[in-house]
């Protein structure tokens, strides 16, 4: 059976055995429900692509009854990223993961290619394909070393993860399709087979824009959610009210005590604020606070990583520049606090969007239901989050 792209083949999905309550486009985002996360204004698209120059591309892989996976690509700019690297940093909330490229980013403070997300067992394949893509670009004929940055979550509950079904063509398609504008969310790309808080997880995004008197900078976040805990939305105990949360059975002295909070969350943070890698790492660390606000405790088996980069053109690391020194511009430490708040708020909302936009999915012998919208609205109204 041929590969099916979720966004354009809903009728065929039914034939493939995927339970589909609503299309992703019909399901609301947090803003559509009137959920206000934090105090800062959203960007125009409320997406990572609100950061000037950032592009996102996705390949959704759905085949037969067992394959539910994909690739999501985030490009800091549309040029040759190896020739014009961007300042970057990685922060590890809990290191139970298989992310490639982090040590070189830590050492040099640079990201030299697209940031790719996929499933756990496909990381090496995706990194290999990304390397092939980058060294094959015009102008990179002399490149002898490339550092692929690839993150993952384990989608093995809904996907035949042992089959390692992500191909080089899937990777190339995600990168080549990358564009600005609205970003598809929910059960798409690297989020096709993920699970969050016991409901369907996926890809989510959000942004915050600082007012002019705070610099006017934008922070955008994209997440791949596949973790557990006690779902909380803007302070409302949604997971508890709906009877689905980590340790519920143990606290009620029933069940087998199996940890259901394991999983992972990949967080990509982009900003147009000029920063060096040191302050980008500080920014990435705040993304974990946004993750915590949703009810995650970064359990033992959860790989929680934040990757941050700055798109400020004056700080690009251009390989053609052979000068002995390089002049950069960076916001002051005292300027960072509003950017921290923006990162926390955008991360929190992106996680909500990943679940609200996700649809009920069947695969690999299991069905994971989407977060029920009407029941969730009832809880949010009860706790005064929405009217």
Q: Which of 264, 277, 296, 354 is catalytic?
A: 264
Q: Enumerate residues 6+ apart whose C-beta is below 8 A from 266.
A: 99, 117, 151, 152, 153, 190, 223, 224, 303, 305, 307
Q: What is the largest CA-CA distance in the chain?
A: 67
Catalytically annotated residue among 24, 102, 299, 302:
302
For residue 191, the 8-state DSSP code is G
Locate 36 and state its tokens.
């206000």
Report the C-alpha gap between 116 and 203 in whole angstroms.
Answer: 13
Q: Is the dihedral of CA 173, 174, 175, 176 positive or negative?
A: positive
At 104, give phi and psi (nearest 5°). -70, -35
Q: How many beta carbons lie within 10 A of that of residue 33, not counting itself?
A: 19
Question: In 3-state terms, what secondary structure has residue 141?
Answer: coil
Question: Using an 8 Å Cβ cutoff, are 174 and 58 in contact?
Answer: yes
Rounded to the nearest 10 degrees, the angle between the axes of helix 277-293 and helix 336-356 is 40
Angle between helices 168-176 and 123-135 (to 10 degrees): 60
Cβ contact 205:350 at 8 Å: yes
Q: What is the dihedral of CA 183, 185, 190, 192, to 10 degrees?
A: -140
299 among known catalytic residues:
no
Phi, then psi, of 268 in degrees rounded to 5: -110, 125
277 is known as an active-site residue:
no
DSSP for 308-319? EEE--GGG-EET
302 is an active site residue: yes
Residue 32: how many other CB atoms lie within 10 Å: 12
Among the listed residues 50, 155, 160, 304, the single catalytic one is 304
Burial 120-155 (b: 16+ CB within 10 A, else e): bbbbebbbebbbebbeeeeebeebeebbbbbbbbbb
Q: Which helix (H) or strand (E) holds 73?
A: strand 67-75
Catalytic center residues: 264, 302, 304
């Amino acid at each position: 059976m041929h590969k099916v792209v979720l966004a354009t083949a809903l009728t065929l999905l039914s034939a493939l055995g995927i339970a589909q309550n609503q299309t992703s486009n019909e399901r609301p985002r947090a803003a559509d429900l009137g959920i206000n996360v934090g105090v800062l204004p959203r960007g125009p698209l409320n997406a990572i692509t609100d950061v000037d120059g950032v592009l996102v591309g996705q390949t959704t892989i759905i085949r037969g009854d067992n394959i539910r996976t994909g690739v999501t690509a985030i490009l800091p700019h549309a040029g040759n990223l190896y020739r014009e690297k961007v300042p970057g940093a990685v922060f590890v909330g809990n290191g139970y993961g298989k992310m490639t490229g982090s040590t070189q980013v830590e050492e040099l403070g640079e990201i030299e290619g697209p940031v790719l997300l996929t499933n756990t067992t496909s990381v090496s394949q995706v990194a290999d394909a990304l390397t092939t893509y980058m060294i094959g670009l015009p102008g990179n004929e002399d490149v002898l070393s490339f550092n692929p940055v690839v993150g993952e979550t384990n989608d093995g509950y809904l996907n035949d993860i042992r089959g390692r079904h992500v191909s080089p063509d899937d990777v190339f398609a995600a990168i080549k399709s990358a564009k600005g504008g609205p970003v598809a969310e929910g059960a798409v790309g690297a989020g096709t087979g993920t699970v969050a808080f016991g409901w369907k997880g996926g890809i989510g995004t959000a942004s915050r824009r600082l007012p002019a008197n705070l610099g006017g900078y934008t922070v955008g976040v994209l997440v791949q959610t596949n973790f557990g805990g006690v779902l909380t939305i803007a302070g409302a105990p949604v997971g508890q009210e709906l009877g689905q949360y980590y340790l519920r059975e143990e606290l009620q002295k029933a069940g087998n005590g199996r940890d259901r909070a394991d999983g992972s969350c990949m967080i990509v943070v982009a900003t147009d604020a000029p920063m060096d890698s040191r302050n980008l790492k500080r920014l990435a660390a705040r993304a974990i606070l946004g993750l915590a606000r949703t009810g995650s405790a970064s359990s033992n088996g959860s790989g929680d990583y934040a990757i941050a980069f700055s798109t400020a053109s004056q700080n690009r690391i251009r390989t053609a520049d052979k000068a002995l020194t390089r002049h950069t511009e960076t916001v002051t430490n005292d300027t960072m606090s509003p950017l921290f708040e923006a990162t926390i708020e955008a991360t929190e909302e992106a996680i909500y969007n990943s679940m609200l936009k996700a649809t009920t999915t069947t695969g690999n012998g299991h069905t994971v239901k989407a977060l029920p919208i009407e029941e969730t609205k009832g809880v949010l109204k009860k706790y005064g989050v929405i009217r």
